[in-house]
Amino acid sequence: MSKKYYVTTPIYYVNDVPHIGHAYTTIAADALARFYRMTGHDVFFLTGTDEHGKKVEKSASDYGVQPKELADRVVVRFKELWQKLNISYSRFIRTTDKDHMRAVTHIWKIIYEKGDIYKGVYRDWYCTPCESFWTSSQLVNNKCPDCGRDVELLSEESYFFRLSRYEEPLLRFYEENPDFIKPERRRNEIISFVKQGLKDLSVSRLGLKWGIRVPGDEKHAIYVWFDALTNYLTGAGFPDHRDLFENTWPADVHIIGKDILRFHAVYWPAFLLSAGLPLPRQVYAHGWWTVEGEKMSKSRGNVVDPVIEAERFGVDKFRYFLLREVPFGLDGDYSEASLVHRVNSELSNDIGNLFSRVCGMIKKYRPAGIEISEKNELAEEAQECIREYTSRMQKLDFQGAIGEGLLGLVSRANVYIDRKKPWQMAREQDAGLDGVLAELSEALRIVAYMCYPFMPEAFNKMMEMVGFPEVTDGNPLEWGSIKWKTKIGDLTPIFPRIE
């Protein structure tokens, strides 16, 4: 059995309903999962919810419900959204799942027995919205340095993880695995953070009811981040399903937002090193969305609801815009005007027109269909676009994969049409016309498959309209690798313009 390609999203807190930030990470992970599946890999794609901890406990009490009740309700919202957005996850994990609670207790015991967890007293600050611990010197104007909100002083018995032991091993690991933290700028930030020195980390909360109990000391709940990060192991079958686990772990990439990088690039690998488990291959931190130039927040009332956007513009267009507009890793600004402009010009004009042009000509000049022949005038240029597309997808450069790969091929095909003038060839009864239409049909097929990770619904429409063969074996992104014949159906715009 070959190793699975394993991609994860963060697991989302259930204190609030999903917004565009959640949708963004999950759509990116979905595009990647679809790309790898399409190119012949066995993919495992994990997403889910983070349900324990102070933050959820507090929200539930504000709503006057039990935390599990709140979680059950919000989970439905997430699942409905993922269905709407065509998210093809393999498992939706909840930290209240039995196998997960067992995995957390199990890894805790391994680390404890190793001597890396000890009991002490925590005397510092806690930020509940971020679920993070801070020292006085880290605070900024007495507020949380990450989110700027109030922190509370804690003075309580706590279990600590010997994070300080892992300073050197982590730095060595970053050095030996230059692609572990992406993008580069984030990697440098983490390295300098670790070089400043690591203090042992509090990994339990006394008196927190809503959490997994510390084995052998029920008064304590395991720290919610220790609990949450372990979901990536649970999903892979840890600790009970050995074969599955060996075949799935380590994760190929954890896709996260930049705000939770420290947890994923410092604490998580340290826990794994201590437990003697392999480390994930990559942690990719994407940027944040502002909305019409402003920070998104409930108090500003400008939180973008992905359900509304997907309904208004269509799921594919929303997905496309998020991954195309901004280089993955940088911050971006969400504005409906930019969305409309981009999808009209790139989807309706560029891709849509190519389809209607080519299909229209085949229908008119060769109503019985075109056999895809050996002639390969466009092959070299197409292969160059396919290479660009593939290598950029592998680097999570979605913007570039679309720009250089997908739209690159579209524009070359359009230039080819203008150069060959098939209408003239038809008029002159030029025997070369079949070859030209065959080249263009193959270009459409490749374009359709390049669209698939981003816009699965449009892909289905394209399949139906042109009659592409389904590729169940191997990589469909290979020019001229399949014999097929066009079967043009009704011509409808694949991407109607948004007015």
> Which span (29-37, 56-64, 182-190, 288-296) binds ligand MSP, by CB under 6 A?
288-296
> Which span (183-191, 225-233, 368-376, 486-494) binds ligand MSP, by CB under 6 A?
225-233
Helices (H) and strands (E) in the chain, counts: 21, 15
Q: Which of 27, 104, 208, 296 binds ligand MSP (CB under 6 A)?
A: 296
Question: Which DSSP state fits 15?
Answer: S
Beta bridge partners of 49: 12, 94
Nearer Cβ to ligand MSP (329/422): 329
CB atoms within 10 A of CB 218: 8
Task: Check residue 259 for interaction with ligand MSP (CB under 6 A).
Answer: yes
Q: What is the dihedral of CA 270, 119, 132, 206, to 10 degrees?
A: 140
- What tokens appear for 269 in the block? 């690998």
In total, the chain counts a number of residues equal to 499
Task: Check residue 256 for interaction with ligand MSP (CB under 6 A).
Answer: yes
Nearer Cβ to ligand MSP (10/306): 10
The least CB distance from residue 62 to ligand MSP, in Å, is 17
Task: Check residue 211 for interaction with ligand MSP (CB under 6 A).
Answer: no
Q: Which of 5, 6, 12, 210 binds ligand MSP (CB under 6 A)?
A: 12
Backbone angles phi, psi at 368, to 5 degrees: -80, -5
Are 255 and 7 in contact, with CB atoms under 8 Å apart? Answer: yes
Tokens 């572990």, residue located: 180
- The three-state secondary structure class of 121 is strand
Q: Which of 22, 317, 319, 445 binds ligand MSP (CB under 6 A)?
A: 22
Nearer Cβ to ligand MSP (232/468): 232
Task: Check residue 181 for interaction with ligand MSP (CB under 6 A).
Answer: no
- How big is the site for ligand MSP, counted in residues (CB under 6 A)? 19
Q: Which of 4, 6, 7, 13 binds ligand MSP (CB under 6 A)?
A: 13
Distance, in Å, from the CA atom of 197 to the CA atom of 171, rounded to the nearest integer, reads 11
401 sits in the region (left: phi over 0; alpha: psi -120 to 50; else beta) called alpha
Are 130 and 234 in contact, with CB atoms under 8 Å apart? Answer: no
Question: Which residue, among 346, 379, 392, 399, has the nearest Cα to 480 in the 3D structure?
Answer: 379
Task: Check residue 289 for interaction with ligand MSP (CB under 6 A).
Answer: yes
Task: Check residue 405 for interaction with ligand MSP (CB under 6 A).
Answer: no
The least CB distance from residue 59 to ligand MSP, in Å, is 12
Site string for ligand MSP, 43-62 (x = CB under 6 A): -------x------------
Q: Which of 228, 315, 361, 458 binds ligand MSP (CB under 6 A)?
A: 228
Q: Which of 4, 10, 275, 445 binds ligand MSP (CB under 6 A)?
A: 10
Beta bridge partners of 47: 92
Task: Check residue 245 for interaction with ligand MSP (CB under 6 A).
Answer: no
- The three-state secondary structure class of 295 is coil
Tokens 């997907």, residue located: 310
The least CB distance from residue 344 to ligand MSP, in Å, is 24
Q: Which of 7, 11, 203, 351 binds ligand MSP (CB under 6 A)?
A: 11
Are 105 and 239 in contact, with CB atoms under 8 Å apart? Answer: no
Using CB under 6 A, list all residues that contact ligand MSP: 10-13, 21-22, 24-25, 50, 228-229, 231, 256-257, 259-260, 288-289, 296
